[in-house]
Chain A
């Protein structure tokens, strides 16, 4: 009898040795004449346990991790003899970290073989499209609106309204564009779902296509994600072969096809209008809005442009109904959010849960505090343009409005944890530096202000006229905030001002005795 094993092929698992472990398992099994079948899945999202090895049993999958190459012989002994092993974690689904999640979008990630269309369909895949085809455009729009889904890229704009605008627009061609330019540090949910469940993204985009009357879609993936590019391309080929892309999708009269385009290392291309410029083959210079992409998007045509996670939420909403999704969440933030715990954290990974969980629960309880074991001092939520929150704000619930009310943003759901060794002056300086490196150059406050910001914060670090320069930085931040077209210039003030506000002690003038000592 063959032993069926599951090892992740997710880039995050591969980076810590999953390929080597899979190879070692194969070789060790061959040497002993044990028949094994190794299925390469996506990641379950428990990165501190990667490389995770799971074995299929009649009572479900049993997990072992983190497994290294040297553990392989003893692991194989335990598997063959059904004996205990130090790395045995028990039934995967019973691991508390996984069990307390509400996985609607990530239900299949880490479970199925992302290269297999059959596996996808066997786990409920394409049920959403089947229902969408039977509903028709108007009813799909009603479902998406009723689900309360808001753009998961960060802006939180209601997806239903966006789709409806494009559906009502009259044009000879319309486009669906998936923003997979996931450049925010601390975020990796787009990468994980593209690598672990790529058909889900395809299904979501296909549903968007039939809803608004678009027959062509583009997935714009950043070049830093070669594994995701490969996974999406392979899935597109398989979906075409299976009749889920091309003409007569899913046996209907509708046509829809997809193409992957690869970015070229520009962070600003995650901004939707800059992304459209890049897709058209130009410099990623931000466009002024209006006109909105929904009216005048890719190649001047009405375009639905959504984040990967927005499209990935759609199949569940269509398959299970809007209510099943909207029943989760709080206030105007409905459904679940795939939250990413990152940086200096003990239990980092992908935690999908209903909106409303507090920042403190996420960092201390679920994340288990820092990896270094030192106290948590600051967390940056929402990427390089997100605010730094101190422990005193850990009661903030994960919700678009609650974070905005405290001068922060949830962005794409990434949380980067810092311990007490962090110097917030350096983090504030880095925010400005990153903006200077990545500014597209269109708006003066962003293009020049960011460089002046770096210089001024450097003066503060050196102890030069600290209070005057602090006032200057605050003034500069306001100019950037209100004088920039897009979130790069407009939101860079968030990390800077939050560092100033919540961690003022780091910016205090250096006492003269210390200055003399330097």
Chain B
């Protein structure tokens, strides 16, 4: 299932920020909420977060760029994450990652030219006893093999 995100809207953004600004240490909570609504953390929101939390823009920018989860721009329509950590490597994950890259024509960490699929590495989904594993738009898949991977790729490309 593909997720449709709202276009950036300052009033809506301000509402999201205000909703969480009262919590202690709210920066990550707010950045998560913004990304959930807009699919990324819009640049325009950074100074707004800073103002609401009485921080400098540099501080908020620093937090935003430190964490792998936060996006500068929305991902493709589907996000396929492949676990690249040791347990999945041990179970043949390297070859599957290479196969996914070849099938989609992009390397890990990139989005296909038609904006349909973002292929990303992830370091451990905690499914290490049913490795290798993947996640397509939040749906978990274990015991990945060539056949299952191809089906996932085809589903993502639809």
Contact = CB atoms under 8 A, between A and B. Distances in A.
Interface of A: 11-12, 14-16, 47-48, 50, 182-188, 190-191, 223-226, 261-267, 278-284, 299, 340-345, 348-350, 371, 380, 384, 414, 416-419, 422, 427, 430, 434, 437-438, 440
Contact of A264 (B31, B85, B126): B31
Nearest 5 pairs of A and B residues by beta carbon:
A348-B129, A281-B27, A185-B85, A342-B128, A264-B67
A340 B126 CA distance: 10
Contact of B91 (A184, A263, A343, A438): A343
B68 A264 contact: yes
A463 B24 CA distance: 53
A187 B32 CA distance: 25
Contacts of A341: 129
11 contacts: A15-B127, A15-B142, A185-B123, A263-B69, A264-B67, A267-B123, A280-B24, A281-B28, A343-B86, A350-B129, A427-B89
Interface stretch (B11-19, B110-118, B133-141): B133-141
A13 B125 CA distance: 13
Contact of B66 (A50, A283, A434): A283
A229 to B, nearest CB: 11
Contact of B130 (A223, A279, A348): A348
A282 B68 CA distance: 14
Contact of B67 (A184, A261, A265, A371): A265
B130 A266 contact: no
A359 to B, nearest CB: 16
A124 B94 CA distance: 45
Given A16-B143, A265-B67, A283-B63, A183 B123 contact: yes
Contact of B53 (A281, A283, A343): A281
B141 A15 contact: yes
Interface of B: 24-29, 31-32, 53, 59, 62-63, 66-70, 83, 85-92, 122-131, 133, 138, 140-143
A186 B27 contact: no
A60 to B, nearest CB: 25
Given A185-B124, A224-B125, A283-B63, A416 B87 contact: yes
Nearest to B31: A264
A183 B69 CA distance: 14
Nearest to A50: B130
A202 B85 CA distance: 30
Contacts of B62: 282-283
Contacts of A280: 24-25
A365 B14 CA distance: 58
A283 B123 CA distance: 19
A15 B133 contact: yes
Contact of A16 (B85, B126, B142): B142
Contacts of B138: 226
A224 B124 CA distance: 8
Contacts of A299: 24-25
B26 A281 contact: yes
A265 B128 contact: no
Contact of B69 (A47, A186, A264, A344): A264
A224 B126 contact: yes
Given A15-B142, A47-B130, A343-B131, A262 B123 contact: no
Contacts of A416: 86-87, 90, 128
Contacts of A262: 28, 32
